[in-house]
Amino acid sequence: AQSVSQHNHHVILSEAASLELGCNYSYGGTVNLFWYVQYPGQHLQLLLKYFSGDPLVKGIKGFEAEFIKSKFSFNLRKPSVQWSDTAEYFCAVIPIAGNMLTFGGGTRLMVKP
Amino acid sequence: KAGVTQTPRYLIKTRGQQVTLSCSPISGHRSVSWYQQTPGQGLQFLFEYFSETQRNKGNFPGRFSGRQFSNSRSEMNVSTLELGDSALYLCASSLEGVENQPQHFGDGTRLSIL
């Protein structure tokens, strides 16, 4: 079975700082990868996804993620965070031949104005 | 287009009781998945239904069960409730299979066990 690790549980940044959230997974085969975000009081929303092709994927609100297959990583980045990016971020993977989406433990991001 | 609707939003039960949670997917979506979210364990997959068939099940005891109706609406049932079942239960739907479609999540049902 696959597993997902998000090593940063809590991140505090000032506005305009750059962001990188780590995500590593373990699985022997090909996977599809996702980043979801949960803003305070709101439901989980898809930020971006990687299925195939260019390993650098761009999502909503200026977020991007890079899939590095050799490192089993799918780190989330944003060049300049805003206060409104305060939220919890979840990385998730699913084998292309499977139907069980596995989430990482989440990273709580707080952006100070 | 309406999103994923979960009812009720909040529920308080006592140990030993049973509970049924409901999820209406986005119109046209055939796959419905259920997740349990707790501060300690994070988001854990419960099960996924597609065209009324359970396709996969997570590592939860048999007290957790579900079903899907012909209109794709799904229900989740938990019997003999335990204190540890207190959690936010999330439902998500996707057009086709979970493996190649991003999921759309509902707001969840917050279940508290006294």
> What is the pLDDT tens value at each position of chain B, 114 positions in all?
679 999 999 999 999 999 999 999 999 999 999 999 998 888 999 999 999 999 889 999 999 999 999 999 999 999 999 999 999 999 999 887 655 677 899 999 999 999
Q: What is the dihedral of CA A30, A76, B59, B82, to 10 degrees?
A: -170
Contact A46 B102 (CB under 8 A): yes
Q: Does residue A90 sit at the B interface (CB-CB below 8 Å)?
A: yes
> Which regions of chain A are under pLDDT 50?
none
Cα–Cα distance measured from residue B81 to residue B101, given in angstroms and rounded to the nearest whole number? 33
Contact A32 B92 (CB under 8 A): no
Cα–Cα distance measured from residue A38 to residue A21, given in angstroms and rounded to the nearest whole number? 15
Contact A32 B108 (CB under 8 A): no
Q: What is the pLDDT of residue A69?
A: 93
Q: What is the pLDDT of residue A28?
A: 83
Which residue from A minimizes the CA distance to B55? Answer: A99
Q: What is the pLDDT of residue A64?
A: 97
Q: Which of B57, B95, B99, B110 to mutate to test the interface with A (most CBs of A within 10 A)?
A: B99
Contact A99 B99 (CB under 8 A): yes
Q: What is the pLDDT of residue A99?
A: 66
Q: Does residue B60 sit at the A interface (CB-CB below 8 Å)?
A: no
Q: Pick from A45, A52, A56: which is nearest to A30 by CA?
A: A52
Contact B56 A97 (CB under 8 A): no
Q: What is the pLDDT of residue B39?
A: 86
User: Which chain A residues are Cβ-neighbours of B104 within 8 angstroms?
Assistant: 46
CB B112 within 8 A of CB B37: no
Q: What is the pLDDT of residue A1?
A: 75
Q: Pick from A16, A13, A4: which is nearest to A109 by CA?
A: A13
Please tell me the total number of residues recorded for chain A in this structure. 113
Q: What is the pLDDT of residue A35?
A: 96
Q: What is the pLDDT of residue B99?
A: 57
Q: Tokens in use for A104?
A: 């990482």
Cα–Cα distance measured from residue A77 to residue A70, given in angstroms and rounded to the nearest whole number? 19
